[in-house]
A and B are shown apart, each in its own frame.
Chain A
Amino acid sequence: MRAPWSAMAVVAVVALSGCTAPVALSDSDGRVQVVTTTGILADLVRNVGGNRVVVDSIVPDNADAHAYEPTLRDVRNVVYADVAFSNYLLLEAQNVIKALDANLRGGVPNISLAEGATKYAAEVIPLVEDASLDTVWLGMRVRGTGRQYGANRSSDVLLSATDVSGPGHLVAYLTESFGDPDFYVNSTDGFDPADGYKDDTAVLPPDAHTHMSWAFTEPGVYRLTMEARLAVAQGEKPVELGRQTFTFAVGVDPHSVGGAVLSAGHADIAVDVDQRRLYLYADPHGGGEVHQEVYDPASTVIEVPTKALKQVPSGRGYRFLGRPGDKVYQLPQAVLGRHVHGEIDPHLWQDVGNAQSYVELIRDTLIGVDPAGAMEYRRNADAYLAELTTLDTYVAETIASIPPASRYLVTTHDAFGYLAHAYGIPVAGFVTPNPAVEPSLADRVKLTETIRNLRVRAVFLEPNLRARSSTLVEVAKEQGVRVCPIYGDAFDQDVDTYVRMMRFNADSLKECLS
C-alpha cells in the first residue's frame, strides 16, 4: 500500500540505504505494510490479514523482547509501515517502543494491543512487584456485636492460641511504625493455660478486624488451635465462644493435606460472637470484606508458599524469629506493596482468551486502515477465533489432567501469570521477575526450597533465555529434576505460530509434570 511520504521519512530512508539486510516492508507493494514488535503479534496479524497484508516483527525469533536493541533494518521497516502493533506495558525494551514512536510516519496507527484489548474484554492481572507479598492476606476478625450478651464497643473479645503443632515455630506478630514487633501468637515459649494464655492472646472489640504477619520457621504442616472468649465488662465471667484448629501448609504442597486451599485474596481467622463459633472468613479473589464467605477450618488449608520465604535480617529486634540469615516462611501483615505502581503484567497472550481480544482489536484496526478488505478481515478473524476457542479448550483440558499435587510451574522469568490464572497451574517460583535482572543468592535459595519442598518434578525454561539462565539449569541439576521447554515471549525454528506455541506448552507441562 502506498501512503504519502513525509519529508522526514524520505530522509530517514536515504540515510539508512547503506544497510544491506533485507527489509520486509516496502512502498512498492500493494498490500498493507504491518510492523509488530514481536513474532507472536506478527503471527496473530498474519492470521487476520491473510493475503492483504505483509507483516514483519522488530524482535526476531529467539531474541528477548525485554532486552532487544533495534537495528537499522528495523527502523526502515518501521518507516514503511502502514500500521504498527506493539504489546506495550513494559514488555518490549524501551528502545523498541522508541523506534516505533520516532519513525512511524504521521497518521500511521500505533496500536498497543495489551492496552487496547481491555476494551475487547481482555482480562488483565496486575504486575506483582514483590512476590513475597503475593500470598493470602490473613488476619483476625470478630464478627457480630454480641448484643445478646450485653456486649458493646468497649467489650473485649479474646482470641487465644492454645496450641501449635508442626515442624517449627509459629509467630504471629505486628511490625509497628518504627519496626518494633508486637506479638499475637508466639509458640517459641509455649502456651500457658495458667495465665489464660495471656501472652498468646489478641484482644479485639466486637465487630473489629486486624492483620498481622504469620511467620513459620520450618517448612511443613502446622496446626494452630485457637479459642475465644467474650468479656462483656470488666470483672464479669467471660462467655466461651468456641475453639477451632486451623491448618497451614508451609512451603509444602497444600493439596496433599486435603481440603480447600486458601492461597490468595483476603482471609481472616474469625470468631463469630453471635453464633459462638470460630471459622475462616475468606474471599480468595478480593481485598474487601464485601465478598468474604465462611470456610470450615476442618476442611481448609491456608497456604504459606515458598515465594514468601525470607531470611531473618541482621537488624535489631528479630531474634524471636531466629538468627540472622535463618529462613522464615511468612505471610505479610500488609499486601498493598504487591503492586503500588499499578502496572499490568504484559504477557496477556498466555491466556488464549486474551489472544482472542488481541485478534478482535487487530481485525478492527486493519479494517480502519484498509476498509476495502473489511469482509476478508472479518472472515479470517472469525475462522481464527474459532481455532483459538478450540485451542483454549485443549490447553485447559491438558493442564487440568495434571494431578493437582504436581501442577506447579517453576520458570526462569515471571511471564506465565496469565497461564497460571487462566488454566489453574500455580506459579510456584521463578528465578527473577525479569530476565534482565541478575539472580541473587537469596533467589537461588528460594528456588531450591521451592523445588525441594513441593517435590517439583520439572522446571521450565524458555529456549530463547537458555544462554542466560544458568541458575535455573544448575539448581534443577542439583535437585535432580528435569528442565523442560516452555515458550513465553518468542518463537524459535521449531515453534513458529501462536497456536503451536500454546499447544506445545500445554503438552510440555503435561509430559514433564505427570
Chain B
Amino acid sequence: MSQLTNSIVAVLTAATLAVAPTPAPDGLTQTLDPNQSVASGRAVLEKGHVDLGPRYRDGDWTIQIHDDTAVPPVWRKLSDVVLRVRDAAVERVPDDPAYAFVGQPPGTPVHVVPQTQNQDVVWVGWNTQDPGVMAAISRGVTMNLLGVQGPGGVVVYLQSGNLGAPQVLWDSTKPFPQPLWVETNTHTHANWIFAKPGVYLVAVEFTAELLDGKQVTGRETLRIAVGDSTPVDDAFTAVYTGSLPGTGATPSPAAVAEPDDGGSPLLVGVLVGAGAVLVVALIWVLVRGARIRRRALDQEESA
C-alpha cells in the first residue's frame, strides 16, 4: 500500500470543530466550509445512509454517491463528498481466527462501517437502482476496486449470516484490480474496516454491458476521512498518486480518477426525479433491546 503523499496525521484543531454545524434532525450533516470559496458543493457525510453507484443519463455513464441523508435524497459527485467515519465506529478486532483477514492482532481498535446500520456511523453501501441504469443494462455491473491509498489497510467483507466464514470482497493488501459482480436492481451493504485513522482514497470502477452490447465504464475516487481527529479538508484535497490498473473498457479521460482541482465550480448534487424509488429504499436499522439478551448469553458462555 502506498502512503498518501499529503496525508497529515490528524491534529484536531478547535477551529475545525467550531465550524462544523450540529447535525440536522433528519440526519443530514452537510459541512460547508466557510474558508474555501469552492466549498459550496462540498458535503461531509458522517451519519445516515449513503450508496455508491452508477448512473446512466443521455448516454452518459457516471459513478456517483447517492446521498439518502438528504431529504429528498440527492446524487453527488464523488469529488464533492467526504465520507467521515467517526470514532463511534471503533470496535476491537475479536480474538477469533475467523477474523484474521482483518490483518490486525486481536484487540486492535479499528474503524468499522458495518453491514447493518450503526446510527452513529455513516452507512456506506452500493446500489444498481438508478432507473437509467436499470433500463440500460440487462444483468449487472462489475464493480472493481482499482487501488487504495491510506495510512492502513481497508477490508470490505460480507456476513452472509449462513453460519459460514465472513466473505472478503475487497482487501487493499491484495493485488488490484479486484472485481465484484453486482446484479441490476440490487442494493447491498457490507462491512468496511479501516485499520488506522487518516485519509483514505479508494479508487473504484464500474463497468457494464448495455443492452445493445456496448460497454460503458467509469472510474472515480471515494474520499474517506477516518477518525474524529482526521481533518476532512485533507480528504478533499488529497491526490491519488499511485498508478491504477487498466481494466474494463478504456476509460474516458474525464472519468479517470482525478481529484477535483478545486478551481472549477462544484455542483451541489443533482436532484433525481425518480429518486423516490430509492427514498423508499432501505433504511436499515439497528435493532434495540435484543442486545440485552446477547449480553446475558455472552455471560452464560463465559461462565
Contact = CB atoms under 8 A, between A and B. Distances in A.
Interface of A: 119, 124, 126, 130, 132-133, 153-154, 173-184, 186, 198-199, 201-205, 207-213, 286-291, 308, 310-313, 315-321, 328, 330, 332-337, 339-343
A333 B160 contact: yes
Given A288-B186, A319-B301, A202 B287 contact: yes
Interface in B142-166: 142, 158-164, 166
B161 A312 contact: no
B233 interface: no
B163 A313 contact: yes
Contacts of B16: none
B294 A180 contact: yes
Nearest to A206: B283
B183 A204 contact: no
Contacts of A124: 139
B301 A316 contact: yes
Contact of B282 (A208, A339, A343): A208
A120 to B, nearest CB: 12
Interface centre among B93, B112, B139, B292 (most CB of A within 10 A): B139
Nearest to A198: B289
Contact of B159 (A179, A199, A310): A179
B40 interface: no
A174 B287 contact: yes
Interface of B: 25-27, 91, 93-94, 96, 98-99, 112, 114-116, 129, 134, 139-140, 142, 158-164, 166-167, 169, 179-188, 190-191, 193, 213, 277, 279-285, 287-294, 297-298, 300-301
B116 A312 contact: no
A181 B283 contact: no
7 contacts: A182-B290, A183-B293, A204-B285, A205-B283, A288-B281, A313-B163, A342-B142
B293 A199 contact: yes
A320 B301 CA distance: 10
Contacts of A343: 181
> Which A-B residue pairs are the 8 nearest by beta carbons?
A342-B181, A333-B161, A213-B161, A287-B186, A288-B185, A183-B290, A208-B283, A332-B162
Nearest to B186: A287
Given A186-B293, A337-B160, 5 more contacts: A177-B159, A178-B99, A181-B294, A291-B185, A312-B163
Contacts of A288: 129, 185-187, 281
Contacts of B279: 207
A105 to B, nearest CB: 27
B37 to A, nearest CB: 34
Contacts of A184: 287, 290
Contact of B294 (A183, A311, A336, A339): A183
A201 B287 CA distance: 8
Contact of A311 (B163, B166, B167): B163
Contacts of A308: 162
A165 to B, nearest CB: 22
B176 to A, nearest CB: 16
Contact of A177 (B140, B167, B191, B281): B191
Contacts of B142: 342
A336 B190 contact: yes
Contact of B158 (A198, A312, A330, A336): A336
Contact of B185 (A174, A207, A287): A287
B190 to A, nearest CB: 7
A366 B184 CA distance: 34
A243 B293 CA distance: 24
A175 B284 contact: no
Contacts of A201: 289-290
Given A174-B116, A319-B297, A286 B163 contact: no
A209 B161 contact: no
Given A210-B116, A288-B186, A334-B160, A182 B287 contact: yes
B287 A177 contact: no
A175 B213 CA distance: 39
A440 B157 CA distance: 26
Contacts of A210: 116, 282, 284-285, 287
A176 B116 contact: yes
Contacts of A204: 285
B281 A289 contact: yes
Residue of B184, B293, B300 ringed by the most chain A CB atoms within 10 A: B293
A127 to B, nearest CB: 10
A227 B25 CA distance: 29
A126 B290 CA distance: 36
A21 B246 CA distance: 45
A176 B121 CA distance: 14
B164 to A, nearest CB: 7
A106 B160 CA distance: 47
A316 B96 contact: yes
A209 B115 contact: no
Nearest to A204: B285
A175 B289 contact: no
Interface centre among A201, A290, A312, A343 (most CB of B within 10 A): A290
Among B183, B282, B289, the most chain A Cβ lie within 10 Å of the Cβ of B289
